[in-house]
Amino acid sequence: MATVEYAAALNLALREEMRRDPRVYVIGEDIVLGVPFGVTKGLAEEFGPERVLNAPISEAAIVGSALGAAMTGLRPVVDMHFADFVTCAMDEVANQIAKSRYMFGGQVDCPLVLRMPYGIGKSAGGHHSNSVEGWFINIPGLKVCIPSTPRDARGLLKTAIRDPDPVMVFEHRGLYRAVGEVPEEEELIPLGSADVKRAGSDVTVIATARMVHAALEAAELLAREGISAEVVDPRSLVPLDREALAGSVAKTHRVVIAEEGPMRGSAGAWLAWVVTEECFDDLDAPIARVAGPNVPIPFSPPLEAACTPDSEAVAAACRRVLK
């Protein structure tokens, strides 16, 4: 095992897959120097400018061209720069990428990856802070994963690149500098495989990305109060590991779902429905949710903090469902 940062683990995954498969290329704004998060740093030196394409600021063409290339035999990995700017390529994602295979009656594969640096933090303001994974689970035809650790990031990105379908990888920008162990040998983590990040018996916290870490902190706090929380990370939202979620709930009978984006119409809302559907008879309390408020992310630090769900909020929700 090597201890590496989340950004470096993603970089490793890109290198491994680019070495393995000459059809893989990366494209995005400022990716040769790896700006702003360092994920693509050094790739141009190893793979050359033909496979590390610094694009103009033309999101629709970046994403659309990736689909064109994917339908005709290449395997593009798009760096969205900030997930927020996917709005500038929304038709390409929602209508073209998500639907082409289906509407062509299965004639073509669309093997492409959209890397989505997202999330709240450091007063980046309303156009650079959004957690938009929920938008995409509402679009049939997209696979969506959301790794919380360097190991998961590497293993999921590799799987995403090999997948025959479009996969979005949501990378929380607050995690890029987080460190964790990554195996020396190659590791692929299948989509649709949840991971229990901490075992417990009293309450299941289903959390994604940064909120996994908030949930782990909350579990520490709760342990001191004699409450044993299990933290389950779905790792991918589409496909979803329903069995793993249900297995945990069968043990704990109480559920808290934690995410960062706004409460309404979100991934967490979908997860709550899935838990209800799968585990209604197991539940001893209504499901509690932790999410951001339904406002854009404000700039000023106290306002941003007021909109940032944290470990305290997770712990409070756990106490609530255990009352």
Ligand X SMILES: Cc1ncc(C[n+]2csc(CCOP(=O)(O)OP(=O)(O)O)c2C)c(N)n1
Closest contact distance (angstroms) between CB of 214 and other proteins is 19
Of 59-67, 95-103, 246-254, 275-283, the segment contacting other proteins by CB under 8 A is 59-67
Between 135 and 315, name the residue whose CB sits nearer to ligand X.
Answer: 135
273, two tokens? 């429905």
5 binds, among other proteins, ligand X, none (CB under 5 to 8 A by kind): none
Between 247 and 298, name the residue whose CB sits nearer to ligand X.
Answer: 298
Q: How many Cα atoms sit within 13 Å of 120 on the Cβ side?
A: 25
Annotated catalytic residue 172: no
Q: Interface with ligand X includes 241 (CB under 6 A)?
A: no
Residues 64-93 that bind ligand X (CB under 6 A): 81, 85, 88
DSSP state of 17: H
Q: Interface with other proteins includes 286 (CB under 8 A)?
A: no
Closest contact distance (angstroms) between CB of 108 and ligand X is 28
The Cα–Cα gap between 37 and 112 comes to: 21
Q: Interface with ligand X includes 57 (CB under 6 A)?
A: yes
User: Strand pairing of 236-238 and 2-5?
Assistant: unpaired
Closest contact distance (angstroms) between CB of 296 and other proteins is 8
Select which of 81, 128, 172, 213 is catalytic: 128
User: Strand pairing of 195-198 and 229-233?
Assistant: antiparallel
32, two tokens? 């040769």
The Cα–Cα gap between 243 and 220 comes to: 26
**Member of 59, 152, 260, 310 binding other proteins (CB under 8 A):** 59
208, two tokens? 């994604």
The Cα–Cα gap between 52 and 48 comes to: 6
Q: Which residues pair with 167 in a beta bridge?
A: 113, 143
Give the per-residue contact string, 125-164, with other proteins (x = CB under 8 A; - = no): xxxx------------------------------------
The Cα–Cα gap between 154 and 88 comes to: 27
Residues 6+ apart with CB under 8 A from 111: 70, 75, 161, 162, 163, 164, 165, 166
Where on the chain is the footprint of ligand X (CB under 6 A)? Answer: 29, 57, 59, 81, 85, 88
For the annotated catalytic residues, the residue numbers are 128
Where on the chain is the footprint of other proteins (CB under 8 A)? Answer: 29-30, 32-33, 35, 54-61, 84-85, 87-88, 122-128, 263-264, 293-296, 298-303, 305-307
